[in-house]
Structure 1
């Protein structure tokens, strides 16, 4: 490829060329014959001040551009560089938008070059990259990036990236290139000529790629299953641990800077003892214990020595990735014998090649995200060994498309089918059967449990990490959900007979003709009525809830409504109308199922025809029946199990965006009967299982019998006495007797004072988004935003990991978080010096599940506060507290704004459930002085 590529990168005063923001620096790099042959760089005077944020990001100051030329002075020179070339940028719309805006304003013709967007091309050609910002790709592809956020350095980086992308494109199989050519017209990059050239070159090539499996026009990485050999261990468990943990053991050999942690070996031995005694165990392992390695060692020994599978279940995919990418490779070095590990997730995580091959042919209605998703999947299939969609980051609406082609949608495949032998899900199941250690997640573990153990391979022993989430996961999986969007999506995918959706396409298949008993008129009529009824039902539910909340004067001021319902206690006149609507919708859906069943006959009688369409029909009818079943359980039947049903919605959302839920009130009996009584030994571990050194709360909620239960608390190796100060002001407004605004003002004043002491580096945890939002907008008005980077969950754009990365990127940052930031966020070292907890994390008392559980405790003569609210809040508080100290070198302050921790009679439950640390309870002024002295 001898084309000329001109790569451009701009630094600007902001993000909007029509604002109008201005260009302050241009960097251009020229590529010819696959080599960088020239460059151009200049500052430009924007004729306005450069915002402090931009100066912090780029290092470019007003002084740098003071004597620089205006854009119009360089416009002709810049335009000339782009003659007869591709225009290349990392996010073309941004750079081209600014260039053309400035050219138009200066009286020059705009650029109309063919473009290549390296963001888009990187997404397609490196779909497994952890991110697609320039710095992330530089790290992933090992490209030197010396001065990020400076135009010429970023242009050079983009040029190097482009050459790598073009080289990667040359390595793709012929079949993949052919599919990309079909999708190219819907992409932003003008890659038709480049793809065509490569397509022609491969057409005349006789080389066969043995690393690829080509079937029905799809190129996939060729995979072979190797059955692992079983091993024999002839050493005792004690000797096995000695060889790893003790002096000159393998830990010392393979872990640089390894320091022996007594608690780690204690945990390994406790788990082994529980396995041998066939006991269950609750093990709280405080931060820094190294619990993953501590439980992997006995799990591997037990699995291999006894030839028994051990299941390890985690709550988050983040911990699964850590186990597979970091801990397991280390274990292979530490352990002297081979062992085999497999990961198994639910069917919805794995791509169906059968489904994907069929939808590839129909791109006439593809939008940009779907075309990009298809392109990414095509390249990913040439590389993936798992087919697990979590390996890649799809565009937002790409996930909606992916749901249509996951293994969850394909029904049963005939084991003799060529697709069955290539199925990623079936391959994952085979590996799971053969593995010594099977890693899965709580959701699949619980789904397996409640489906009579049909999904996971047989096992007797398991280790459940992040076990404080097991109860809620089990409740959610035993319950059910239904919402407007789910139902409408199901119906829209089927479609009317005259639409190009699933049914319209099916009716065009050869075996079907007018002689079969299927009335298109009946279908379209009933289908239209069903869609109307769905809309009407959910609008009625929305209106009903609003009216009930207004009657009780409990309409949420946060915009979120949760309404617990019970058919026997609802307003009879209105509720009967809702039940009648549910019945009507059920009848329409049954009629649609009946009509679809008549379509199966042509495919049954035509034996030469593929079973695809029969399976599709069956899956579609099952999807409609599932809606009927869930509606009946929610509205038309009385459950034998005491449960709670509720409705959630946004008061400012669409009038039919209603979500329906049902969960058991108490899952402990189900877990006791269906799980713990049927398994030999289940180890439950977490950093937060005890309250004031007692495991009774966790034990009761999970249904664990004390007869065959072991408990252990593994203490942290960290010196909390020297590393942490817990500080609680005694002069904050009492939120119960003053306005929330006064309390928020005091919180913000404390944030500003502490940030001066700690140079930012603060994580502030809220219990409500409403409070977070108020604090953010007040801080934005009062804090020096040129000095501190203020980041807020739900306001600043990006995922949790993106916000965390931004927090760590800027030296003086303040991160405001709620919900998910209370746990699982790891910010070690000097990046985090102060953790502020705004309110003790009690659940809202009006949450439907909490309400139902509270009523149950009241009926049993127990205190809902001490049995439920307080223990849950303490567990959550411990999770939040654990964000601060992540290594032996960390130091910091935990600042709790809620004086109840000292003044309330239950406050000691919080302070006595965390490691012993020095506590200061004084005026804010004296606390700030003490904090400054301590740092």
Structure 2
């Protein structure tokens, strides 16, 4: 029997029907026999005014709904439409309850049928999608979406989405459908109806498996493509030495290519450094084309010399961009194929054996079930098995920790999936590649694990190199997180006899192996350990509360633990508790390994399920070992290595928010010893490496001397003098002369007037979240920006990329950002016309790492401000300024509201760090007049 679906979308005045929010537009699309039959749509008079934000979002205003019927008038028709149908919506848990509430208010019987959520369905069928929002899915699937956020358009697109997903489900291999149908019984909506229907059809006429798929041990997966290293047989012309040759090559790559002398110069430096086994540090300003500047010579060198090049970026996002954009473009213009691969740490890859066995469990946990379904679909698509391709929920990420690849631990057994293992495949591809792309965190992580793969690469490019020192500090340090330790203990089995230790005991007893510790003894270990951890973090929470006066009113605090504190009586109890925990962790580790040894010595024949569990337990022990290492940070002291120890926590969520961190103060020697000394040639590049044209600060941080390397500074080709107005207001007070509230009020009034002149399109950068929040609130409460969308980091919900996308969608928008918004944000064109820096970006002097570095520099007879604080601030300043002009044709206003840039001697260091521009000193009225004329 063919099902009838009614796809519904509603627009409302808000999110809470029980609190008086009402429907302002309703639409329903009827699907029968897998075809759209008809659509009913109507505006609805809500009896209240449409909020400005809703009007801006949907385009629906009071005039459009004032003559529309009320919901009570159309409720009977809607109820009739839904009869004997399956209710479908994109986020059914919003639309259906809201509609039910309106039915009740209208005196109409509620809907009691089945419902399908296309958000839930999209998560399963498109597991690699970055977003499951309707507009983003429509764009990804090339569905026409004429009026986003209007019910008629949204309902129609959702209907098309449902039909598309139904077709994709019907095309799935039978073995995949069988598993999905079983798992789908535990979802929140009735998606199981779709899988059950497709399974019945598929069983009636089983079709041949697509060529690109195979079924192995009952799981359908994509066949891998194996490429050997064909460097010796490939033909590639000589590296293009002249600028003209490079231009001719790149013109065939980009239709709007413009010759850039700086980019050509960078290519030559990279190629020459590789050829002569040299180290080069290159600052390439915005617009130079840095990625191609190192990629093209790397490709030529790798293929011609048959020596692979490892490229490390700062973010996973940039890794993928290099592969999808720049390397793909180079593939088109070179007559020789490029073997380029992404390589990540082992735990990024799926362990197929563990996953296979997890499918046999009777698991009803929603996040695990959803993740299993996503992975089953993903296996028919992925060649890499890399978790970064997947969009998993937080709970799904927890499940991944169980099935991640971290080696095969059973010496007397072989992984039945070894021939299809994703990590082994990635390693093989990397060893046969020309270009291998990784990221800084992975580089250090694998270096610490003594990865045999990473050691093979003698030629290294480090992009976004200004992040290298900080990433190294994190990886050479330790971090203890309360929730992580508690989670590991819960996995072992405290108060839950379904957990790991009890499963191990059951396996041992099944094979007639008896020994100690017994389950009750082990439970006692765990309870004691759990109590000690609670005691430790309770003491740390009390310590943070006592230091509350240091927080300056902030809820999130960092407290540095100095030597005098470490030696105090108050800290002794914390230290002793940490030592007890360390001993207990060791005891638990020994107990588990002892029981595993019993199993190995008996040489019992484990079945697949038991084998998978033992592998998972070995993975767990690796994590347990890491916690043992981290907990030492609280009591172990090394007088020979300058380190910094600090506590972090949110005073509103103690002790669960507490983390303890220990980091080395300087990593230059470690970088040289562990990384650079093992490479023949290293290229370090970024847009921000110099202070007043000197690389000395950066070189000190990474342990190179200027005489030993080649440095190159390549200026941005953008016409800043022509396309940018640099303004320092002369009617704002010096921040050091007034209190914070007076400064906030004056800045807010300036920003309100400037926003009206620029019509939004403004990014405001802060160094303090508290100042951001104050100014945001003052501007919002002023009432003069009601037709503007104000988006503030930490106030408005969403990630950095989500806030940036929302900013770009609305014309009259202002984006307030701190920390991460100073770099990595790309808003080209007219979407950003004005960049405001409220304060110069000095990091707080009492921030633990800054304070510790300052003390260390002082002990060496250096001035901490000029040797560290100022250079760090200048680098951040350059990064922030780089947000404004992203393309040659961009134009923009650059405002600095911190008068210290002119009133102090060090202010010149900031001005000299950015391209030469005329500085305008103007009052607010003059600034507004200039903006209106110029923009």
Q: TM-score, normalised by structure 2?
A: 0.96
CA 1:315–1:113 in structure 2 vs 1: closer, same or farther (change >3 Å)?
same
Higher deviation after alignment, 468-477 or 269-278: 269-278
Describe the SS at the equivalent of 1:590. Answer: helix
Q: Which residue of 1 aligns with 2:599?
A: 602
Alpha-carbon RMSD: 2.1
CA distance 1:573–1:546, shift in 2 (3 Å): same
SS in 1 for 2:88: strand
State yes or no: 1:751 paired with 2:739. Answer: no
Task: Give the drift of 1:522.
Answer: 0.4
Going from structure 1 to structure 2, the CA distance change for 1:836 and 1:614 (only over 3 Å counts) comes to same
Q: Secondary structure at the match of 1:454?
A: coil
Alignment partner, residue 528 of structure 2: 529
Q: Secondary structure at the match of 1:855?
A: helix
Aligned positions of 1:26-425 closer than 5 A: 26-209=26-209, 210-231=211-232, 232=234, 235-238=237-240, 242-243=244-245, 245-246=246-247, 249-366=248-365, 368-408=366-406, 416-425=414-423
Mapped partners of 2:579, 2:419: distance in 1: 43
Distance 2:193 2:617 in 1: 41
- The CA distance in 2 between the partners of 1:515 and 1:697, in whole Å, is 62
Q: In structure 2, do the counterparts of structure 1 residues 141 and 485 end up closer, same or farther at CA, with 3 Å as the change threshold? A: same
Residues 214, 222 of structure 2: 8 Å contact kept = yes
Relative distance call for 1:413 and 1:923 in structure 2 (3 A) is farther
* Mapped contact 2:303–2:434 kept (Cα < 8 A): yes
- The offset of 1:882, in angstroms, is 0.2
Deviations 1:162-187 (Å, cap 9, x if unpaired)? Answer: 10011111112222222222222321
1:467 match: 465
Q: Does 1:21 align with 2:18?
A: no
Which position in structure 1 is the counterpart of 2:480? 482
Unaligned runs of 5+ in 1: none
- The residue matched to 1:407 in structure 2 has which SS? coil
Question: Aligned in 2, Cα 1:775/1:370: closer, same or farther, shift over 3 Å?
Answer: farther
Alignment of 1:459-858 (within 5 A): 459-496=457-494, 498-509=496-507, 511-513=510-512, 515-547=514-546, 549=547, 553-566=549-562, 569-570=565-566, 572-600=568-596, 601-609=598-606, 611-638=611-638, 640-858=640-858
Partners of 1:294 and 1:412 in 2: CA distance: 46
Tell me, yes or no, if the aligned pair for 2:731 and 2:924 is still in contact at 8 Å: yes
2:253 touches 2:330 (CA, 8 Å); kept in 1?
no
Q: Mean Cα displacement is larger for which, 13-22 or 282-291?
A: 13-22
8 Å CA contact 1:254, 1:333 repeated in 2: yes
CA deviations on 1:640-697 (whole Å, 9 max, x unpaired) are 3221122111222222532111111111122223333332211111000011111111
CA distance in 1, matches of 2:34, 2:132: 23
- Do 1:264 and 1:291's aligned partners in 2 also have CA atoms closer than 8 Å? yes
In 2, the alpha carbon distance for the partners of 1:170 and 1:78 equals 30
Is the Cα–Cα contact under 8 Å of residues 480 and 630 in structure 1 kept in the other structure?
A: yes
Supply the distance in 2 between the matched residues of 1:812 and 1:787 (Cα, whole angstroms).
7
- 588-597 or 660-669: which moved more? 588-597
CA contact (8 A) 2:312 2:461 kept: yes
SS at match of 1:654: coil
Contact conserved, 2:243 with 2:261, CA < 8 A, in 1?
A: no
Does the Cα contact within 8 Å between 1:542 and 1:656 map onto a contact in 2? no
Does the Cα contact within 8 Å between 1:31 and 1:37 map onto a contact in 2?
Answer: yes
The alpha carbon displacement at 1:84 in A equals: 1.1
Contact 1:672 1:702 in 2 (8 A): yes
SS at match of 1:713: strand
Alpha-carbon offset, residue 101 of structure 1: 0.8
Q: When the two structures are superposed, what TM-score results if normalisation uses the length of structure 1?
A: 0.96
Please give the alpha-carbon distance, in whole angstroms, between the structure 1 residues aligned to 2:324 and 2:408. Answer: 30
Secondary structure (helix, strand or coil) at the match of 2:231 reads coil
Q: 1:253 to 1:649 in 2, by over 3 A?
A: same
Equivalent-residue separation in structure 2 for 1:411 and 1:18 (angstroms): 56
Cα distance in 2 for residues equivalent to 1:640 and 1:614: 40
Partner residue in 1 for 2:924:
924
Deviations 1:590-637 (A, max 9, x none): 322232233221354143225544434433334333322322344134
CA contact (8 A) 2:558 2:649 kept: yes
Deviation, 1:499, is: 2.1
Aligned partners of 1:538 and 1:657 also within 8 Å: no
**Is the CA contact 1:407–1:425 (under 8 Å) kept in the aligned structure 2?**
yes
SS at match of 2:252: helix
Using the TM superposition, give the Cα deviation of residue 265 of structure 1 relative to its aligned residue in structure 2, in angstroms: 0.6
Instruction: Answer whether contact 2:186 2:364 (CA < 8 A) is retained.
Output: no
Which ranges in structure 2 are unaligned for 5 or more consecutive residues? none
Q: CA 1:65 to 1:466, structure 2 compared with 1: closer, same or farther past 3 Å?
A: same
Per-residue CA deviation, residues 850-903 of structure 1 (Å, 9 max, x unaligned), is 111101111111100000000000000000000000111110011111111111
> Secondary structure at the residue paired with 1:662?
strand
Question: 2: CA distance between counterparts of 1:512 and 1:413?
Answer: 19
Q: In the alignment, is the contact (CA less than 8 A) between 2:14 and 2:22 conserved in 1?
A: yes
Aligned partner of residue 905 in structure 1, secondary structure: coil
Q: Distance in 2 between matches of 1:201 and 1:604?
A: 51
SS at match of 1:825: coil
> Which sits farther off after the overlay, 650-659 or 97-106?
650-659
The answer to whether the 8 A contact 1:539-1:656 is kept is no
Q: SS of the residue aligned with 1:175?
A: helix
Contact kept in structure 1, 2:86 and 2:115, CA below 8 Å: yes
The DSSP-based 3-state class of the residue aligned with 2:430 is helix
SS of residue in 2 equivalent to 1:481 = strand
Deviation at 1:786, TM superposition (A): 3.8
Deviation at 1:544, TM superposition (A): 2.5
| 3-state SS of paired residue (2:815) | strand
Q: Distance in 2 between matches of 1:857 and 1:619?
A: 41
Equivalent residue for 1:900? 900
Q: Which one is further off, 733-742 or 810-819? A: 733-742
How many residues are paired up?
Answer: 928
State whether residues 241 and 268 of structure 2, in contact with CA within 8 Å, keep that contact through their aligned partners in structure 1.
Answer: no
Q: CA deviation at 1:498?
A: 4.8
Deviation at 1:254, TM superposition (A): 3.0
Cα pair 2:12 2:22 within 8 Å, conserved: yes
Q: Is the 8 A contact 1:25 1:41 kept in 2?
A: yes
CA distance in 1, matches of 2:408, 2:64: 61
SS across alignment from 2:725: strand
Q: Is the 8 A contact 1:433 1:457 kept in 2?
A: no
Counterparts of 1:436 and 1:351, CA distance in 2: 25
In 2, Cα distance between equivalents of 1:444 and 1:212: 31
Q: Determine helix, strand or coil for the equivalent of 1:586.
A: helix
Measure how far apart 1:720 and its partner are. 0.5
Answer yes or no: is the 8 Å Cα contact 2:735–2:899 preserved in 1.
no
The answer to whether the Cα contact below 8 Å between 2:565 and 2:571 also exists between their aligned partners in 1 is: no
